[in-house]
Structure 1
Amino acid sequence: MKLTELQIENLYKFTRQHYVYHYDVQTELVDHLANDIEEIWVAQPQLSFEDARDKSFKKFGIFGFMDVIEAKQKQMNKRYWKIILRFVKEWFTMPKLVTTILLFLSIFTLLQITYSEFVILGCLLLAIVFESFYIYKDRKLKKQKTTQKEKIFLLEEMIGQTKGGVISMAFVNVFNIINLTKVEFSSLASYWLLLIAFFTTIVFILFYVTSYIIPQKAEELLQETYPEYKMVKNL
């Protein structure tokens, strides 16, 4: 016996009630539950839909869908970092390589100036303030989507959450280094300055990729990841 459209819709509500918020994870679980319920009905056709659904759910154990959610998050996190690295690699190929070299040389020159560490901290702090505004807008948009019961995909939320995270982490690390070591960057040997300039360049590229490039290409990336994305958003 096949499930009806109303029963499928019930399974979506059921997964949502059990703290599964993302549509792609819901769909994966609904497919699993639907197939399992149909198999249960083959062996026990007298069971109601609700009883068969609950029996299928019990197979997930005491933590319910939590293990599935965690596994999906790890899988999507790996995919997201592959996307980030794909765009970062572009900055080491022509013609963007020229911009990367200029950025590196600018940072290296800046590091040789007295109190350059505070200039870098100031730039990072300014970037955090700037990004906080966009993070606020993203959260407001997410709240609006939740209120309107729009379908949100896991990767879609990751794209919004990562914005500003790279810069915040860099600011904390640089601040801690300055406080703990009490060493001025300008007094360091050239090879240390080259190393710091290299990693700072990577941080700024990561910031630009996660905060601007990926959000701008979000629709394209989501359609690439989820074949059903465009159809679902047009409903």
Structure 2
Amino acid sequence: MKLTQEQTQYIFDYVSSRDIKWYELQVELTDHMVSSMEEIWEKDPELTFHQVKQYAENNFTGDSSFKSIEKERTEILGKEFRKEQWKMIGEYLKFPKIFASIIVVFLTFKISLYFEEPRKFVAGLFLFLIFVAIPMVYSYYKNRKIDGNRFIEIEKSNPLTLLFGGFINFGLSLGNVFKEEINEYALVLFLFCCLWALTVLCLITGILLQNKTIKRVKEQYQLN
């Protein structure tokens, strides 16, 4: 027995009330509930709507509870986002894009040699990326909610993770630890230039993925 549009909306509202804050999960869990209810109702048409709902809800217990599914899906989408980003970064390390990456590292290294204290130049490079990422931060907060709904996919493109929990913070912290070595040894300076170039790639791919994710979410759920 098929649920009516009103009954399906009731289930959607119920799922949303169970502290499921991500829209795509609200839709997914609603679909699971509706399918389960229709299957149960098909076998026993004498049951009432609320009885069928209760039987279907009983299937969401333990590892299959709403919150467990939310946690699992969040982790999966996070891994998928990182995997896709590293795949994009890998493209810049293959022919012919690798030449552009090599040129960036080489020019950065050569310019740093003109500074009396290269470590300050290196620190400036990493700090500069924070300002470059401002449009990415703006886009994230602008699209964090679309039509009042929040999405895991967009949340995983949070640029603050890259800025303060990723390579930028790592580069600044590591530069502070090896500040004397950066000034004294060209090899150490070169390695930091490589780390900076990798951070640039992370930032570029992060921006591209963020825009791609926002566009995909809007198209998939027909949102403005």
* Cα-Cα RMSD: 3.0
CA 1:47–1:8: 2 relative to 1, 3 Å: same
Q: What is the distance in 2 between the residues matched to 1:234 and 1:133?
A: 22
Among candidates 173, 177, 190, match of residue 176 of structure 1 = 173
Deviation at 1:127, TM superposition (A): 2.4
* Equivalent residues in 2 for 1:169-208, closer than 5 Å: 169-188=166-185, 190=187, 192-208=188-204
Q: What is the distance in 2 between the residues matched to 1:194 and 1:130?
A: 22
Deviation at 1:17, TM superposition (A): 1.2
**Which amino acid in 2 is paired with 1:230?**
E
Q: What is the distance in 1 between the residues matched to 2:90 and 2:66?
A: 36
Deviation at 1:185, TM superposition (A): 0.4
Q: What is aligned with 2:155?
A: 157
Q: What is the distance in 2 between the residues matched to 1:136 and 1:217?
A: 16
Q: What is aligned with 1:4?
A: 4
Unaligned runs of at least 5 residues, structure 2: none
Say how many residue pairs are matched.
221
Structure 2 SS opposite 1:92: coil
* Equivalent residues in 2 for 1:1-235, closer than 5 Å: 1-42=1-42, 44-61=44-61, 64-112=65-113, 113-132=115-134, 134-143=136-145, 145=146, 148-149=147-148, 152-159=150-157, 161=158, 163-168=159-164, 169-188=166-185, 190=187, 192-211=188-207, 213-218=208-213, 222=216, 230=219, 232-233=221-222
Asked if structure 2 preserves the Cα contact closer than 8 Å seen for 1:11 and 1:30, the reply is: yes
**Which amino acid in 2 is paired with 1:205?**
L
Q: What is the distance in 2 between the residues matched to 1:104 and 1:66?
A: 45
Q: What is the distance in 1 between the residues matched to 2:129 and 2:174?
A: 19
Asked if structure 1 preserves the Cα contact closer than 8 Å seen for 2:89 and 2:205, the reply is: yes
Asked if structure 2 preserves the Cα contact closer than 8 Å seen for 1:132 and 1:164, the reply is: no
Deviation at 1:133, TM superposition (A): 5.4
Deviation at 1:231, TM superposition (A): 5.7
CA 1:210–1:179: 2 relative to 1, 3 Å: same
Unaligned runs of at least 5 residues, structure 1: 224-228
CA 1:120–1:167: 2 relative to 1, 3 Å: farther
Give the TM-score normalised by the residue count of structure 2: 0.80
CA 1:96–1:186: 2 relative to 1, 3 Å: same
